[in-house]
Structure formats: structure tokens, C-alpha cells
Amino acid sequence: MIGYYIIIGLIALVSFAVSSKLKSKFEQYSQVHLRNGMSGAEIATQMLHDNGIYDVKVISTPGQLTDHYNPADKTVNLSEAVYNQRNAAAAAVAAHECGHAVQHATAYGMLEMRSKMVPIVNVSSTLSQWLIMGGLILGIASKGLSFGYIIAVIGLILMAIATVFSLITLPVEYDASNRALAWLKNKNMVSQQEYAGAEDALKWAARTYVVAAIGAVASMLYWALQVFGRRD
């Protein structure tokens, strides 16, 4: 267990560092005001229309960094700051979320796969570690009785599903950012300075998903070693 806590601790430190850097980047680029004077909501609406999408609503949602696209009700949800502000950071986030809407409209394979996995991931991410730990404890208490081992393996399978979900998220997020940046550039929505800010902000946002994926893989490998190592 000590090894597990060391891994989790290191990943948590890296995650904190990346998240802090991301926040500082967004604060920095929030000071780069758009020459076209468009708000995040207007940027989002324009990108949707330029991609022939008229059945997706752009709405404001409370909180910070709460921006997301909801394929279920076809809404681009922008945090209050992004929705109202007129700067490079707001443009980057708004366009990125619309990138997901474009993915949905064009049936982007990775997004569809991730969406289908959401229900089972909601369950697996909650139960997997408890099943693994419970199975290992049962195995020790019963001196290696196979029932505990089976429970642990089931937990490991559920954890593997959640890990695959984290890995699939990477191309989905990077693709959405690429779509956003390409649109901002090709439609001349931002100046060169504004584009550089948007690109840098999205780069750091993507790194939070990279750290999460690495954490998921590391955790799964650790527990796999615990389960199969004890079996030997």
C-alpha cells in the first residue's frame, strides 16, 4: 500500500502543478482582449454556424472551468467568465467546446466511443478499487481462496475500463482543440498575438488530461501487480 500512496502522491503533485499553471495561463490570456470585441458566447455561436450547426444552444453555467459540451441535450455550456468575457482565453475555451459539438455533428468515432462508455465508467470508477481491495483481503483471510481472487480480478477489469476511458479522452480533447485553433486561424477571428495565447492556453488544458491518463494507467498497473503478484 505504501507504494500505491507514493504513486498517488507524485501524480497528485504533478496534477496540482499542471492545474496551477493552467490557471495562471488563463489569467494571463484573460488580459489579451480580442480586437474583434466578440464575447465567448458570440465566438461559440459563430463557430457553430460556420460549421453548419444550428441546433446546438450556447448557454452560461455557474462556476470556473465548468465549460463543457453536453451531447445529450446539444448544449455548449460556458462558465460565466468565458460566456461574457472578450479575450483570448475565453475565445479558446469557447471554440474548444464547440470543437466537441462539431465532433458530435460529424460522428467523430472517438467521441461516440467515449459517450457510450460513460454509464459503465460512472459505476466502474466508484466500485473498482473497493472490489480489488476487498478481494485481496478475502484472499488473505482465506489463504488464497479463489473467490477473493475472482472479486479482485472483476475490480481490476472495471478499473481497466475506466483507464481506457481516460486514454480515449486524450484524442477527443486534442482533436477538439485542433478544430478550435484551425477555425480561429482560418476565419481570421483572432490576431497573431491572440492566436498564440489561445494555442498556449489549450495546450496546458490538454496536459491536465494527459496527467489524468498517466495516473489512471499507473494506478491500474499497481493494482494489477498486487492482484496477480499475490496469485503467484
Active site residues: 97
Instruction: Tell me how far apart the alpha carbons of residues 214 and 209 are, in angstroms, rounded to a whole number.
Output: 9
C-alpha separations of 217 from 121, 199, 208 in Å? 15, 27, 14
- Which run of H or of E encompasses 79? strand 75-79
Q: For residues 137 and 219, is the Cβ–Cβ distance under 8 A?
A: no
CA dihedral 75, 182, 94, 199 (to 10 degrees): 140
Quickly count: other Cβ atoms within 10 Å of residue 65's Cβ.
15
Q: Which residues contact 218 (CB under 8 A, 6 or more apart)?
A: 7, 11
Helix axis angle for 88-105 and 109-141, nearest 10°, is 90
Q: Which amino acid is at 189?
A: M
